[in-house]
Amino acid sequence: MLEPINVSLASLNITTLAPMLIAIVGALTILCIDLIKGGLHKSFYVMVSSLFLLLDLGTVIDFGNIFLKNGPVLGMFDMMLIDGLAIMGQIIIVAGSMLFIPLALTSKRFHEYNYPEYFALFLFMIAGFQFMVATDNLILIFVGLETASLALYALIALHNRSKSFEAAVKYFTMGALAAGFFAFGSMILYAITGSIEINQIASVLAGDHYANIGYVLVAVSFMLAAFGFKLSMVPFHTWTPDVYEGSSAALAGYMSIVPKIAGFIVAMRLFEFLVHSGVVWLQVILYIAVVITMTASNIWAMVQTDVKRMLAYSSISHAGFVMAAILIGTTQSNTALFLYWALFSFTNLGAFTMLWVSRQKNLLPGQSSDHPFEKFSGLIKTMPMAAIMMGLFMLSLAGIPPFGLFWGKIYIIASAVTGGYTVLALIMALNSALAAYYYLKLIVFMFMKEPVIGYEKYYLTNASASLKTIIGVAAIGTIFAVFAVNPLLKVITLFVYNSGY
Amino acid sequence: MQEHILSILIFFPALAAMLGFIVHKDSARAYGITVAAIEFFLSLLLWNLYDPMTSGMQFMEKAPLVSAFGINYLVGIDGISLFIIVLSTFFTMIGIASLTETRRVKDLIITLLFLEMTMVGVFAALDAIIFYVFWELSLIPMLYIIGAWGGPLRIYASIKFFLYTFTGSLVMLVGMLFMAYFYYQATGQWSFSLLEWYRLILPLNFQLWLFAAFFVGFAIKVPMFPFHTWLPYAHGQAPTIGSVILAAILLKMGTYAFVRFSLPLFPDAAVFFMFPIAALAIIMIVYTAMVAYAQEDIKQVVAYSSVSHMGVIVLGTFALNVEGISGSIFLMIAHGVVSGALFLLVGVIYDRRHTKLMSEFGGLASVMPRYATIFGIMMMASVGLPLTINFVGEFLSLLGFYKQSHSFTLVAGTAIIVGAIYMLSAYKKMFFGNVTKEENKNLKDVNKTELLALVPLVVITIWLGVYPKPILEPISNSVESIVQLMHDKAQTKEAQARIPNLSNPEAKNSQQETH
């Protein structure tokens, strides 16, 4: 006869699940509503999703206040860990998603938005990402990662073009491989430490002074590969441009922001203690990976003929840039990571939305891809406002002051300087110059060339009031970022410092 | 209003530019002239309110921006920046008034007004990050002006211009972050304020590295040999207004930054690098003068001659004494007036003939007497004829450097003669002899609008050539405080000997005896 398990409900601290549960309940609600009455307009689902996300965000912010008062909250047999990283990660995830979801309200009809399942999957995905960041249990991270990824593959495929299927399958295959690597890595860590919680692993490893360093290195290699895929680090980046090209511009923009911040937080939890405990090999490997990711993707981006692919490579390069913060591993650099990503999400969201509004249903004769540079040729003459907006986002991505990303950029470079990585700081700065070339290329097309006949009727065809609002929000966030940097910096530093990173 | 005049001066053109989107395109030019004129009178008001006897910063304004990271909106001017600001507003006004461009004038005017904001901002900024913001921001309007209104190779030229300067300034940015970090280590607080950085004394090896990092950014902007290759393209392709602003103001950002950053922050490194930089400056003077002589295009002659004279400015700056630095700052103003005027003059003839090749002209003196007269005066000023504005600056710069090294100054002085050769030969080719080409026989002389832009420049050229005191005095007052600061901060024996001590007259004499 088994002993009855006695667990008091209070010790479970079930409220730690509240944010994710809200997203899941939201998804189930949408499915139920569809059972009762089908054929509702997409605006209904968009608004319902937004409401649930708003609730979600509110709970997360509430946890933020609790964290600042009482420190990290544990729950569900210590599986859940709500610390500063988890809270900030969730804020970026949920807020990014809230900005993304109105992009479904296009003026053209896209069939994926007619399925309520699209929005249900979307909410499930968010719950998955939230689980990923709000734990240091490797199994729960794995579960969260897979929930989110599987939902994301389906969302890509729903775009219903041959290239989207290709993208989804490609992403799925690569993602399965990454999941395998992650499982192997976790297994080895469990084998040598007997634990699946990162902080336990860290203390066991520190306790025996890295006696099994060989196994640790094997585990770290697997983990690096897994996160290499998820964060699209070179040489595991090959799927990124194809997947971005195949999915809708809106979803591509989303993929460049939200899944990555979840990945960064897990990478931060896992690699930070390894970097600090003097696993030199990891430092060297990370250093090389960061430099190559930044530089190589910048060079590839230069030769792209399609704006969306160019932005895909640019987002790889930005990911490499931010990965440097994890390598540096000081409180300042971790703060810089969040600051950078918060500013980056505004700018990148704007840039991808600008592509989204010019989405064509059919390609013109001789047009090889959705958004060739020629499409934007002479835009300043045909649509001056659109050209100025796009130019603004490009300048911000290139790191021209005083626009948003510049402040993130100098803070990361400054953290490299203070962390003693002088050469890295210089490489990061010079990479911005490389990157400036391809962002300028689009500006040159928009402002200095003559319009190409045939494209003008497609431009802004997809723009609805809500899309224009999103672009406006992104533009305001980009221009006036300088006034937001100081409060952001203070709050983020507080959260990061109190979480012990 | 008096305490906020600098902010008004910086942001008024930007605000006006934004409102300018609403103005109808037929009235855009009038709008531009009005705004630029108001801005110019504001800058004159600033000059009027400025107290020439004080050497420190005036009209300081401070507002926290990113206080957690020590970034503040901090602006203020002294005698060094005051006149460059007046020059910027003056040239924007003249430039817009003499605008002959007809394609998309409204866009051009708005761009110019944004450019004016960044120019005033750079020269007024006292916080390194604010300086950097305006410094980088000034690239974008210029990129657009060259790229959208330029000649056939305009896109190549504009991208080259942008990437060169951008790369250089990113290295400078890393230097700035290091500087802030050293300040943080010394005081426990982040700060990007220049005035606070001035108080920091760094060990020599740090100074050398930081000096090098800043130097890359500034030298590309000046542009110093061997980083000058972007400039001929930029000038060759830019429309007249672009060349005028570029030569008159934007290049001055580099030399101004030497005086504002490199010298007072790193006095020992400045002495250490004095002769290498002087050598570069002399190569720049001689080499570009020779290249100018070989040009067939009058605009390229003016462009290379402008680079050549920038060499004299750098030489004067690195004399590291009051005469040299005051002379170089005066020469910045002079060079702005003269090369700006020369580019305007080239624009006048280009508008009439749509060619800039000197072989296409000849005997213009008889067809366009007024044009030839103004061109002659400006050319003489450029050569450095006494009683013109350039002479004062060149003389003081060379005098300053003479105190440091006789032989270097001798070479540089000789090079100025080469300047006379190419300028006079270009003048001869264009204006003297018989009118050989049929098209040149009926050219119209300068009209009223053009005179309106050119005559004030001639007046300034001669007035300040004869009586430079109203400008020179405030400049040297402010320079004295910088030189004194450098002397006080200098650690190495050589630096202490080379940088004169102004508070102690005996030391001044002993400094001269060392030679």
Q: Which two tokens stand for residue B91?
A: 């040239």
**CB distance A410–B174 less than 8 Å?**
no
pLDDT at B505: 56
Four-residue CA torsion sign, A260, A262, A263, A267: positive
Note whether residue A9 is domain-resident.
no
* pLDDT, tens digit, 9 for 90 and up, residues A120-159: 999 999 999 999 999 989 999 999 999 999 999 999 998 8
**CB distance A401–B136 less than 8 Å?**
yes
Which chain A residues contact residue B67 at CB under 8 A? Answer: 486
* pLDDT, tens digit, 9 for 90 and up, residues A30-74: 999 999 988 888 889 999 999 999 999 999 999 888 888 888 888
> What predicted TM-score, i.e. pTM, was given to this entire model?
0.93
Note whether residue A364 is domain-resident.
no
CA-angle at A79, arms to A74 and A80, nearest 5°: 50
Cα distance from B146 to chain A (closest Cα, Å)? 9
Q: Which two tokens stand for residue B87?
A: 């020059």
**CB distance B173–A486 less than 8 Å?**
no
Which chain B residues contact residue A425 at CB under 8 A? Answer: 174, 177
A294 touches chain B (CB under 8 A): no
Across the A:B interface, residue pairs with CB atoms under 8 Å apart total 91
pLDDT at A8 over 80: no
Mutation test of the interface with chain B: which of A431, A443, A490, choosing the one with the most B Cβ atoms within 10 A? A443
Note whether residue A475 is domain-resident.
yes
Which chain A residues contact residue B139 at CB under 8 A? Answer: 400
The CA distance from A475 to B137, in Å, is: 17
* pLDDT, tens digit, 9 for 90 and up, residues A116-125: 899 999 999 9
Cα-Cα end-to-end distance for chain B: 50
Contact between B500 and B508 (Cβ < 8 Å): yes
Cα distance from A425 to chain B (closest Cα, Å)? 7
CB-nearest partner of B68 from A400, A440, A490: A490
Q: Which two tokens stand for residue A159?
A: 């775009």
Put simply, the chain B residues between 170 and 209 with a CB less than 8 A from any chain A CB are 170-171, 173-174, 177-178, 180-181, 184
A418 touches chain B (CB under 8 A): yes
Which DSSP state fits B500? P
Helix residue spans in A449-480 (DSSP H): 465-479
Nearest to A194 by CA among A134, A138, A132, A135: A138
Cα distance from B152 to chain A (closest Cα, Å)? 12
3-state SS assignment for residue B63: strand
Encode burial over B363-373: b for 16+ CB neighbours within 10 A, e otherwise. bbbebbeebbe
Rounded mean pLDDT for each run of 10 residues along chain B, 515 residues in total: 86 93 89 94 92 84 89 91 93 89 87 94 93 93 91 89 92 93 91 90 90 93 88 89 91 92 91 92 89 89 90 91 92 92 90 84 85 90 88 90 88 82 88 82 83 90 90 90 88 84 60 44
Mutation test of the interface with chain B: which of A418, A421, A491, choosing the one with the most B Cβ atoms within 10 A? A418
Note whether residue A248 is domain-resident.
yes
**CB distance B159–A437 less than 8 Å?**
yes
Name the phi and psi angles at B446, rounded to 5: -55, 135
pLDDT at B504: 64
CB-nearest partner of A448 from B64, B147, B170: B147
Contact between B6 and B58 (Cβ < 8 Å): no
pLDDT at B512: 47
Q: Which two tokens stand for residue B363?
A: 């005997």
**CB distance A447–B167 less than 8 Å?**
no
Which chain B residues contact residue A418 at CB under 8 A? Answer: 181, 184
- Range name among A8-22, A294-308, A426-440, B299-313 with the lowest pLDDT average: A8-22
**CB distance B159–A413 less than 8 Å?**
no
Nearest to B134 by CA among B123, B146, B143: B123
Note whether residue A8 is domain-resident.
no
Q: Which two tokens stand for residue B387?
A: 């009683």
Residue A357 — very low, low, confident or very high, per pLDDT cuts 50/70/90? Answer: confident
Note whether residue A454 is domain-resident.
yes
pLDDT at B331: 92
B161 touches chain A (CB under 8 A): no
Query: Which of A257-266, A462-471, B491-500 shows the highest mean pLDDT?
Result: A257-266
Nearest to B490 by CA among B220, B266, B217, B223: B266
The CA distance from A427 to B174, in Å, is: 10
CA-angle at A24, arms to A21 and A26, nearest 5°: 110
pLDDT at B1: 66
**CB distance B158–A448 less than 8 Å?**
yes
pLDDT at B510: 45
**CB distance A401–B167 less than 8 Å?**
no
CB-nearest partner of A448 from B139, B148, B171: B148
CB-nearest partner of A425 from B66, B69, B174: B174
Q: What stretch of H or E contains A278? A: none
Contact between A308 and A442 (Cβ < 8 Å): no
Contact between B217 and B136 (Cβ < 8 Å): no
Contact between B25 and B118 (Cβ < 8 Å): no
Note whether residue A25 is domain-resident.
yes
B41 touches chain A (CB under 8 A): no
* pLDDT, tens digit, 9 for 90 and up, residues A176-210: 999 999 999 999 999 999 999 998 898 898 888 88
pLDDT at B440: 79
Question: Would you list the domain boundaries of chain B?
Answer: 273-489
| ipTM score of complex | 0.91
pLDDT at A211 over 90: no
B212 touches chain A (CB under 8 A): no
* pLDDT, tens digit, 9 for 90 and up, residues B74-128: 999 988 999 999 999 999 999 998 888 778 888 999 999 999 999 999 999 999 9
Cα distance from A330 to chain B (closest Cα, Å)? 15
**CB distance B170–A432 less than 8 Å?**
yes
Tally of structural domains, chain A: 1
| CA separation, residue B310 to residues B213, B218, B228, B284 (Å) | 20, 12, 11, 8
The CA distance from B264 to B202, in Å, is: 11
Q: What is the DSSP string of A247-270?
A: S-HHHHHHHTTHHHHHHHHHHHHH
Instruction: Return the half-sphere exposure (C-beta side, CA atoms, 13 A cut-off) of residue B494.
Output: 11
Which chain B residues contact residue A448 at CB under 8 A? Answer: 144, 147-148, 154-155, 158
Encode burial over B312-341: b for 16+ CB neighbours within 10 A, e otherwise. bbbbbbbbbbbbbbbbbbbbbbbbbbbbbb
Name the phi and psi angles at B239, rounded to 5: -70, 170
Q: Which residue's structure tokens are 């906020």?
A: B4
Mutation test of the interface with chain B: which of A400, A411, A415, A497, choosing the one with the most B Cβ atoms within 10 A? A400
Which chain A residues contact residue B180 at CB under 8 A? Answer: 414
Q: What stretch of H or E contains A59? A: helix A42-70
Q: Which two tokens stand for residue B480?
A: 């004295």
A489 touches chain B (CB under 8 A): yes
A385 touches chain B (CB under 8 A): no
The CA distance from A194 to A180, in Å, is: 20
Domain that holds residue A379: 14-359+370-498
A486 to chain B: nearest residue by CA?
A: B66
Contact between B192 and A429 (Cβ < 8 Å): no
